[in-house]
Structure 1
Amino acid sequence: MSSSSRRPARRAALTARSSYDESLVDAELESYLGNARSRRISRLRRLSADERQRETETEALIALSLGFPIDELLPAERPLLPAPVAAAPNDYIVVRNHILASWRADPRVPLPRSRVQETVAASYDNLVAVAHGFLAREGHINFGVSAAFPASPPPDAPQRLAASVLVVGAGLAGLAAARQLLRFGLRVLVLEGRARPGGRVYTTHLGGDQAAVELGGSVITGIHANPLGVLARQLGIPLHKVRDSCPLYHHDGRTVDMKLDRSMDLVFNTLLEHATRLREYLKKAAEGISLGEGIERLRRFYKVAKSVEEREVLDWHLANLEFSNAGCLSELSLAHWDQDDQYEMGGDHCFLAGGNARLVHALCDGVPVLYEKTVKRIEHGEDGVSITVEGGQVFKADMALCTAPLGVLKSRSIIFEPELPERKLEAIQRLGFGLLNKVAMVFPHVFWDEEIDTFGCLNKERSKRGEFFLFYSYHTVSGGAVLIALVAGEAALEFEKVDPAVALHRVLGILKGIYGPKGVTVPDPIQSCCTRWGSDPLCSGSYSHIRVGSSGTDYDILAESVNDRLFFAGEATNRAYPATMHGALLSGLREASKILHASESRLNSDYKKYALQKSIRLINNVLDDLFMEPDLECGRFSFVFSYITPEEEQAPGLARITLEKPLLLPSKKRKVKGNQKDQDPVAEKIDQEVFYLYATVSQEQATELLECDNDKSRIAVLCKDLGVKLMGYDSTYDVCSHLISSISRAQKARKRLQGPKSLKTGL
């Protein structure tokens, strides 16, 4: 996966600190915001209006850094809110941002809803419940790998009839999804084709197992709001900032003149800016032009980089761009290649001490994984899914999550039955899946400059501009003198055919050319390794990019599920963060939420079918039991609450509105076709049943309703003034299952405390 930003830039300034804990990022953010927040925010303490406003603004900026709009709802949040709140959502957004900031303050431990409620006014309890539930289900809070987040449901989690899920692939996406699903209470099994977890994140150990070497995804790109940084913080793993200094060398070992370097850096960035203007001018015509063609046209038009040395330095920058996108510039779409720039995470790029495998193994803890199970066939239908692995073994489940890399989907090595929708197949073919290769070397000692993490080398031939163009030093985090040479663009494709011994000889020749004239002896490496990601049938490449003819929409299409049975995750399904490790992990959390929702919807649907077969009664027994002895009654309204003592005025509860038979009988004017005897007896029985509507209210709100003159006025106050949404059985069961349990427990507790005395207040 990408080890750089999508639009890389080599900055000249060195920072004073190069190694730090992820928690210090929060301090830096707070310093930038100019407000040192306490570890535990209390909205109940006495603050001036200015202090409260400043705190709200600080939390909004933290939410913004986490990818949330600063003053808007996410599309997925709007349906969860009553219409009046959704129309004027400021209070909800403040509560949501407060929860995000509270979680960010210490993500090593869970943030329960009760703790949030301690820090906000009781009048916001309903908003806290909605926001906290949404953020937890979607994987924005309360996720991770510390001991506080085991791969199992919390003790207080509601009991569910657990659906079964097969996860294809034990990479970051698959493991994140599996871990989250296990916490949701579902049954999960991961099928992995390799003999190890991690997928394209692969940390091996060379030099007598002393040095950790990253052969796949290596750099955490942008530490602010990055979930990988959260995992590192939970595990107490320090991060090393990739320092900005990156000297360039000619192929003969000479240092590139600083003036020339800065000049071509400016030319490169100016060409990219003009490429943006060019596509805006061309509009639809830009869809068929590659970024490489656009840049070359502009270079010729402005007559820049004309000398040999200038062109070699510019080619180095273009190779760096190809590295960032795992693709040749001749393939990248001029119109859409950088569509994800707006989402790019802020902060420094970092190495993880000891290698990214530490995160992978932490994600694996408690997750059932079967290795060397290469998936060959996925059958999906109304009855569930069936997955066949190499050798003929078959696994069955209710649902499946496919995290196979885009390269595998392109190769059609997995057969889907029935075939995937045409729309998805076309997106798979349109998107690009490129290549990045590496030569990893462990030396007896560090012979290069220990104060830098990267250095570059120019190439004479344009077609080879990406061959060993950039070196990464991992001596600060790997436990050994590790140096990795990158191969990008066209050179990465040719590299797959080169003998490893020949490749190593070329790399050592470059290093000796750079350091020999300085009087430095370059030793032979203790051990080396060359990657061949393009030849690996379990990935067939490195990471995705937007090819000519494609767009960011294709990432969204790849993320679409099929009939709520077959789901897809992976970096190539994440429009905002493609080609990144954190993009893969976030896609897994996203799909876990979707799978949970599908499981609950199917469970509710199955329950309704079962209930209709046994009886036409539409009211759940549990709700009937709750309202056998309501706490308050008036007209068609009855109320039950979750309080232990009536003094708890803000205790949440349920209101039930009874719609009697005369309101539901068919009109006398209704015409019935054919003989009345042929009318559906089930429909006739439904006509004669009593129906109920439900709403969540506090005891204080119920008291206000009781003061109304009639039921019509009560409904008007409930819906318009209080902004409460009426729900049928389905929605009540979905949204209020936790509240129903709380009310039931409270009723039992009151009976124990008060004996036979009734709490019912009839009005």
Structure 2
Amino acid sequence: MEFSETIMGDSENMAKFNKSFGDFFQVNYKSGLSKLEFEDKELADQIMDLSEREMNSLYASESWFDVSAKLNSYVDDAEFSHQLTWKERGFKTFFDFLTKKLPDPLKALPVDEKILFNKEVTNINWNVSEAIAKCADGSEYQADHVIVTVSLGFLKQNYKTLFTPQLPEKKVNAIENTGFGTLGKFFLEFEEPFWPTDIKNWTAYLMLWTKEDKYNITGSEREWLTNIIGFLRVDAQPNVISGLVAGKHLKRFEEISDAQLIDDCMWLLQKSLGRVLPRPINMKRSKWMTNKYFLGSYSFASMDTQAHNVLLAKDLAETMYGDSNKPLLLIAGEATVEFHSGYVHGAVESGLRAAAELLRYYTSH
């Protein structure tokens, strides 16, 4: 595993590689194993399979052959935890800090009262001095500026009807050819943990598949299990484990019943651990792919991004101007930042960037 992680972190050579990350990994993995004289080929293949699932979870890709090695060669030096759960408060805590409800509720910004729910925007006309947003319920809203923060998946599905006039060709090229995929996540709650609680720094059961086991499950209703990276400990939730799902079977993961998902997970855990386990008392999962307002989780630099010369973040983030050089239509969201796409802090950066542009405009006018 340490060797595979070294390959994943080899940003210097990735930057010189014109093919996919899958190609990059396989070339270096096979070359490295031969130098190490590693003889357990079956274990080596299992680790490579796990490495692909881990890479797909990082980029929300169906296959690591979809991911551009060159365009993903940068080093993200931000310090963060993939498992941060805000303890008992949930992720909404982050928005409480953004709106200043925390740490002092008396200093909260009046954001909630300005949000309108159940207002599905079907068209944004930005060909006038003021933008007009039309909603599915027939209502319309005039605005001096519009900041669009929908997911790239939603843009891919709806950009032709969402904007009047049509977006410039450069923006359309970015929407159509920037990668966008899904990472699935689920939580299983038990009466008490069956996983190690007395082992310092234990974090997860990672799934390794033998060729025989993978062959036997292929084509069955449980094939989606081969996309599970592992079962992970959850911060501040001692009776809960989470699972990450990445690859080509996300639709199946989202569409099966709750009972079937639990049955499948327990089958895999019991088969892997070799013992009978208690059944969970609760389960929650994400459904980003089948949610029509998201149609996936987050963006990545794909081989199509590379082939169509998309300037990551810049092409999609470029502001559309109205009369008197007024910033009329701004697009923000995680897909419009270069180095932190796919992350919440990247999405926040994009919102701050859009707000800063409006402030500059009013400062100079």
> What's the TM-score, normalizing by structure 1?
0.40
Contact 1:553 1:575 in 2 (8 A): no
In 2, Cα distance between equivalents of 1:267 and 1:568: 37
Partner of 2:242: helix, strand, or coil?
strand
Q: Which residue of 2 aligns with 1:467?
A: 227
- How many angstroms does 1:277 deviate by? 2.9
Q: Which residue of 2 aligns with 1:293?
A: 23
Unpaired runs of 5+ residues, structure 1, are 1-263, 605-763
Q: Which residue of 1 aligns with 2:118?
A: 372
Q: Which amino acid aligns with 1:507?
A: C
After TM superposition, list the pairs within 5 Å mapping 1:91-490 onto structure 2. Answer: 264-270=1-7, 273=10, 276-277=12-13, 280=16, 286=18, 289-300=19-30, 307-327=41-61, 328-339=63-74, 341=75, 343-346=76-79, 351=84, 352-354=86-88, 355-363=90-98, 366-367=110-111, 368-412=114-158, 415-450=162-197, 451=200, 452-460=202-210, 461=214, 467-474=227-234, 476-478=235-237, 481-490=239-248
The structure with the largest alpha-carbon Rg is: 1
- How many angstroms does 1:558 deviate by? 1.3
Contact 1:344 1:577 in 2 (8 A): no
Q: Which residue of 1 aligns with 2:344?
A: 581
Q: Give a deviation string over 1:532-585, Cα, whole Å, max 9, x none.
A: 211111111011100003257221211111001011111111112111111111
Q: Give a deviation string over 1:41-64, Cα, whole Å, max 9, x none.
A: xxxxxxxxxxxxxxxxxxxxxxxx
Q: Residues 347 and 300 of structure 1: is their aligned pair in 2 closer, same or farther, counting only changes over 3 Å?
A: closer
Unpaired runs of 5+ residues, structure 2, are 100-107, 219-223, 322-326
Q: Which residue of 1 aligns with 2:301?
A: 546
Q: Which amino acid aligns with 1:469?
A: I
Q: Residues 347 and 503 of structure 1: is their aligned pair in 2 closer, same or farther, counting only changes over 3 Å?
A: closer
Contact 2:14 2:73 in 1 (8 A): no
- How many angstroms does 1:303 deviate by? 5.7
Contact 2:190 2:279 in 1 (8 A): yes
In 1, Cα distance between equivalents of 2:144 and 2:116: 18
Q: Which residue of 2 aligns with 1:528?
A: 283
Contact 2:187 2:285 in 1 (8 A): yes
Q: Which residue of 2 aligns with 1:598?
A: 361
Partner of 1:535: helix, strand, or coil?
coil
In 1, Cα distance between equivalents of 2:7 and 2:94: 38
Over the matched positions of the two proteins, sequence identity in percent amounts to 24
Q: Residues 426 and 384 of structure 1: is their aligned pair in 2 closer, same or farther, counting only changes over 3 Å?
A: same
- How many angstroms does 1:270 deviate by? 3.5
Contact 1:466 1:492 in 2 (8 A): no
Q: Which residue of 2 aligns with 1:565?
A: 328
489-498 vs 526-535, which moves further? 489-498
After TM superposition, list the pairs within 5 Å mapping 1:664-679 onto structure 2. Answer: none
- How many angstroms does 1:516 deviate by? 4.8
Q: Which amino acid aligns with 1:389?
A: C
Partner of 1:549: helix, strand, or coil?
helix
Contact 1:271 1:299 in 2 (8 A): no
Q: Residues 330 and 349 of structure 1: is their aligned pair in 2 closer, same or farther, counting only changes over 3 Å?
A: closer
In 2, Cα distance between equivalents of 1:407 and 1:347: 25
Partner of 1:376: helix, strand, or coil?
strand
Q: Give a deviation string over 1:327-360, Cα, whole Å, max 9, x none.
A: 1201101221233x2x431366562222211222
- How many angstroms does 1:271 deviate by? 6.8
What is the number of equivalent residue pairs in this alignment?
A: 325
Q: Which amino acid aligns with 1:333?
A: S
- How many angstroms does 1:497 deviate by? 4.7
In 2, Cα distance between equivalents of 1:276 and 1:359: 34
Q: Residues 553 and 278 of structure 1: is their aligned pair in 2 closer, same or farther, counting only changes over 3 Å?
A: closer
In 2, Cα distance between equivalents of 1:571 and 1:515: 38
After TM superposition, list the pairs within 5 Å mapping 1:500-511 onto structure 2. Answer: 500-511=258-269
In 2, Cα distance between equivalents of 1:360 and 1:522: 37
Q: Residues 329 and 503 of structure 1: is their aligned pair in 2 closer, same or farther, counting only changes over 3 Å?
A: same
> What's the TM-score, normalizing by structure 2?
0.80
Q: Residues 376 and 498 of structure 1: is their aligned pair in 2 closer, same or farther, counting only changes over 3 Å?
A: same
In 2, Cα distance between equivalents of 1:593 and 1:466: 45
Instruction: Tell me: higher relative CO, structure 1 or 2? Use CA pairs within 8 A at least 6 residues apart.
Output: 2
Q: Residues 582 and 267 of structure 1: is their aligned pair in 2 closer, same or farther, counting only changes over 3 Å?
A: closer
RMSD: 2.7
Contact 2:231 2:242 in 1 (8 A): yes
Partner of 1:537: helix, strand, or coil?
coil
Contact 1:316 1:465 in 2 (8 A): no
Partner of 1:534: helix, strand, or coil?
coil
- How many angstroms does 1:600 deviate by? 3.7
Contact 1:315 1:465 in 2 (8 A): no
